[in-house]
A and B are shown apart, each in its own frame.
Chain A
Amino acid sequence: MPKKNHDTEKYYRLAIRYSRFYGGKISVVPNVPVRSLKDFSVWYTPGVAAVSKAIERNSDLSFELTSRWNTIAIVTDGTRVLGLGNVGPQAAMPVMEGKALMFKYLGGVNAVPITLGVHDQNKIFDTVKALEPSFGGFNLEDIESPKCFFLLDSLRGKLSVPVWHDDQQGTAGATLAGLFGALKLTGRDVGQTRVVFFGAGASNIATARVLMAAGFKAGNIILVDKKGTLHPEREDLDELELHNPWKYELALKTNADRVEGGLDAALKGADALVAAAGPGPDKFPKGCISAMNSDSIVFTLANPVPEIWPWEAKGAGARIVATGRSDFPNQVNNSLIFPAMFRGALDARASRITDEMIVAASTELARYAAKNGLSEDHILPDMSEWDVYPAVAAVVAARAVEQHVAKRRMSKAWFHRRADFIIKESRSTLATLVKNKLIRMPP
């Protein structure tokens, strides 16, 4: 792929040049006018004291009288950044800034990057807990496994605002949405579909869990890692119980037929393959795909190079192929999920993001893709289909209301209008700043 490598090199050069030119991608812009310095008597002292006192009496008012209602933190310790690995908290910042940009542009959410200088899971837990009063939610990002499982599970139970780990739940939601589209196109039923996961890291473990919440049968799922298929009698199960209880739970629940062996054994009679096993190509022989059922579905999600090239997978018999890349059809893209997920969760004042809210988001994405015509190259909406974000935010918020985790109990239509307004406002603010040359064009 010389063309692609050439493109990547070009993007690398531009990214360095632009980052230097702009000095980072985000800044704080006031939300209020300053007509004269007298306004500071309202925005600041003495007027602000009344706002403080009101919140002191009822801390819930922090969601109405301050920007907390629309502000989240993006928290990382920099231990698993992109495909780069443990680059540390400073080097994680450009990535987190990019994420904040997408949160604002696609979801109208103010996201503040916080890159931590601590790595111990209990210290990260304590830090996030201590930050809770400042934020309406937390997006955990690029934290290594299995620490990320511990943090998501423990913080979800302890905080009164939503906690999300995008590498787990965002990927899971986008993958589920793609599977819904692919199943519809190939006439399959969730309860009968046999899914093989290649790679048992954070995203595949989370996706397997979300698939079960969506009605896939645990017994029909097989996870395959470097040691082969996961099953209840595998020799390393005790080690997993101690060090990765989430993977351990899946080993006990999945693979009802107790298939032993490698990916080739697992794929015999499988309907779908979800590979997240690290950059390819040629991570596995394409012959494995030939052993799958007809009309097979292959998601090969590693970046920047998928585990197997899409054309190789198709050549081996796959009918539908999805990747993590924007330059191939069917991009399984977290960006379809996380901005709308937080838009909906924040608008509903949700105390948490449930698996059912993720399933609702995935279902809506698939419905949206179907509305514009499902095909082998269009099982998911792409990021340019703007209307999908408020639509997903609305179903997420409505589901939160149904599940009694929402403080603001409004209709789906109300949430849709609100999300639509906020997201459009965010985009038009940026466009106006650019139009008025307050944000300069790059050199």
Chain B
Amino acid sequence: MAKIDAGVKFRDARKGDADAVTDLVVRLKRLNEEFDTMLKVRDDVREQAKAYVTNALKDRDSIIIVAEREGRVMGFVKVEILDRIFNEPGTEGRVQEFYIMPEFRKHEIGTELMRHALGKLKQRGIHLVSAEFPSQNRISVEFYAKQGFRPITNIHAKML
């Protein structure tokens, strides 16, 4: 594994990052589409992504960390804080979106983004983190396994 480029910065997303993060969300959704036809993206994916990101940037329960290099956002992670009404602990951070531009992969940037996000969760007294991603995405399966995650709930789907 190559070391992280010294020029890469990790920080909370700001309002000004909305367009860049929207682009990455769209790329992520298109990537997910590759794994299952039930993840086919809608025609208006870009507008939806824009609204989604704009709302998340305002939402206290959304954490978005971006990786930035030379002023350009080239990766991000979005974590949503959720209540768990039946289980202990009573809250969890759910990694919902996680994407790094292809040319910056394999440089430990994903690990570092995750480390920053987990740090934020701990600061807020949250002690459980989960992640959602397409079941067929083996790169994600391996990544999370390496980070110490294990499967706890499966979501199965079929078309009616």
Contact = CB atoms under 8 A, between A and B. Distances in A.
A123 B121 CA distance: 48
A242 B102 contact: no
B35 to A, nearest CB: 8
B44 interface: no
A252 B102 contact: yes
A235 B101 contact: no
B27 A232 contact: no
A242 B34 CA distance: 8
Nearest to A236: B30
B103 interface: yes
B30 A239 contact: yes
A251 B102 CA distance: 10
Interface string A391-422: 00000000000000000000000000000000
Nearest to A252: B103
A241 B102 CA distance: 9
A239 B103 CA distance: 14
Q: Which of A242, A248, A251 has the most CB of B within 10 A?
A: A242
Contacts of B31: 238-239
B103 A238 contact: no
Q: Is the interface of A mostly helix, strand, loop or mixed?
A: helix
Contacts of B30: 235, 238-239
A204 to B, nearest CB: 20
Contacts of B102: 232, 237-238, 241, 248, 251-252
Interface in B31-63: 31, 34
A120 interface: no
B134 to A, nearest CB: 11
A233 interface: yes
Contacts of A235: 27, 30
A242 B138 CA distance: 10
B106 to A, nearest CB: 10
Contacts of A243: 34
B37 to A, nearest CB: 14
A233 B102 CA distance: 8
Nearest to A248: B102
A164 to B, nearest CB: 30
Contacts of A237: 102
A85 B79 CA distance: 48
Contacts of A242: 34
B34 A239 contact: yes
A242 B31 CA distance: 9
B34 A232 contact: no
- The 9 A-B pairs of least Cβ separation, nearest first, read A238-B31, A232-B103, A237-B102, A252-B103, A242-B34, A239-B34, A252-B102, A232-B102, A241-B102
6 contacts: A233-B101, A233-B103, A239-B30, A239-B34, A243-B34, A251-B102
Given A232-B101, A239-B34, 11 more contacts: A232-B102, A233-B103, A235-B27, A238-B30, A238-B34, A238-B102, A239-B30, A241-B102, A243-B34, A248-B102, A251-B102
